Structure 1
Amino acid sequence: MMKVYIQIVLGSLLVAIGINAFFVPQHFLDGGMIGIGLISHYWLDFQPGLTMVILSIPLYVLAFFFDRSLFYKSIHGLWLSSLLIDMLKPLSESIQMIPLIAALMGGAFVGVGIGLMLMAEAAAGGTDLLAQIIGKSTGWNVGIIIFIIDTAVLLGGFVLIGAYSFFHSLLAISTVGFFTALLTHNKNRKRFSFR
């Protein structure tokens, strides 16, 4: 159990650093609930972490009935990552870099963070949880499912961030998807080899 909690804490911290140090200063979006939280932050100046918690509630209710173990592990990931995203907001004012590097670095931080949480069967937001439910039901790679959801959210935020940030955000979520898929690939292969 200790390993699971360490993965959730480290994953949440990496996600929060990736969002605040690399995405927010460049006005990039992520996908899923994090992306929706960032859209609410850029457009309405809401706290992205709090937005993630509120909008994830229906998906956590679904998880409660679908897979209680997943629900209990994921609720910790949601609360901790949301809290850290809002607490580490000062990072967004202290780090500046060229957009290409920010997209790659931020994508790596967020992707590894989400991958660590998924390896612990936790999630940082409701759409990650939904991806895990779909992955468990179908055997599809969770990282790829998250990439599809992330792309849909990114397309929805295109008008708000404009073409320049959109293309860098697309690179960022591709990097997120790469690292998430990389970390969750072996887990899925091991799980299905026993059938």
Structure 2
Amino acid sequence: MLKKIAVIGFGSTMIGIGINGFILPFHLINGGFFGISLLLNYIWGLKAGITFIFLNIPVYLFALKNNPGYFYNGLIGAIICGLMLEIWMPLNGVIHMPIMSSIILGATIIGIGVGVMLRSHISPGGMDLLALILAKWSRINVGVIIFATDAVIIIVGLLFLQDVKLLYSLVIVSIVGLLASIITSFRGIRIYS
């Protein structure tokens, strides 16, 4: 249990820092419910972290019925991720970097956070939870499923916000998806003494 709490704390902190420090200053989005929460923040000014928690409720009710283990781990992960998104909000605008450097660094930080959580079968959000369940059923790598759903969210965001700069978000989801795939693909290393 302590290991799971440490993983959730680490992963959520990485996601909160990556989004607030490197993605929000350029008015970009990443994927999943984080991306939808950021879109709703840009359009209507809703608090991204709180919106993220509420968006997760239907998915977690579905998970409770289909896979209770994912439900309990994921619920804690989603709540802490939503809170970390709000806690690290003061980082928005503090770090000044060129857009591509910011995107690469931010996406790498987010990808490590997401990957570490998914590797421990802890979902940092509803879309990732759905991806974990689909990956289990379909045997498709969870990172591939996440990338596909994220790309759809960015295209929808592009249609709503009419901001070509959102195409940079495809780089973000590519890096996050790649890192999640790599981290979740490593086999555990056993050391015998």
Ranges of 4+ aligned residues in structure 1 off by more than 4 Å: none
- 1:70 alignment partner in structure 2: 70
Point out where structure 2 has 5 or more consecutive residues left out of the alignment: 189-193
Contact 1:74–1:129 (8 Å) recurs in 2: yes
Pick the structure with more helix per residue.
1
- 1:146 alignment partner in structure 2: 146
Residue 167 (structure 1) shift? 2.5
Contact 1:27–1:161 (8 Å) recurs in 2: no
Offset from partner CA, 1:6-61 (integer Å, 9 cap, x none): 11110000000000000000111101100000001111111111111111111000
Question: Aligned partners of 1:161, 1:20: CA distance in 2, in Å?
Answer: 22
Question: Aligned partners of 1:102, 1:167: CA distance in 2, in Å?
Answer: 15
- 1:193 alignment partner in structure 2: none
1:57 equivalent to 2:48? Answer: no
Residue 172 (structure 1) shift? 1.1
- 1:17 alignment partner in structure 2: 17
- 1:36 alignment partner in structure 2: 36
Letter of the 1:140 partner, please give it: I
Letter of the 1:137 partner, please give it: W
1:162 equivalent to 2:130? Answer: no
- 1:100 alignment partner in structure 2: 100
Contact 1:24–1:92 (8 Å) recurs in 2: yes
CA RMSD of aligned residues (A): 1.2
Percent of aligned pairs with the same amino acid: 33
Report the more deviating stretch, 2-11 or 64-73: 2-11
Letter of the 1:142 partner, please give it: V
Letter of the 1:150 partner, please give it: D
Contact 1:143–1:180 (8 Å) recurs in 2: yes
Question: Aligned partners of 1:134, 1:186: CA distance in 2, in Å?
Answer: 19
The alignment of Structure 1 onto Structure 2 pairs a total of residues equal to 187
Question: Aligned partners of 1:102, 1:174: CA distance in 2, in Å?
Answer: 15
- 2:126 alignment partner in structure 1: 126
Question: Aligned partners of 2:166, 2:45: CA distance in 1, in Å?
Answer: 19
Contact 1:146–1:177 (8 Å) recurs in 2: yes
- 2:175 alignment partner in structure 1: 175
Contact 1:29–1:154 (8 Å) recurs in 2: yes
TM-score (norm 1): 0.92
Offset from partner CA, 1:106-145 (integer Å, 9 cap, x none): 1101111011111121112110110011011111111111
Residue 161 (structure 1) shift? 5.7
Letter of the 2:88 partner, please give it: L
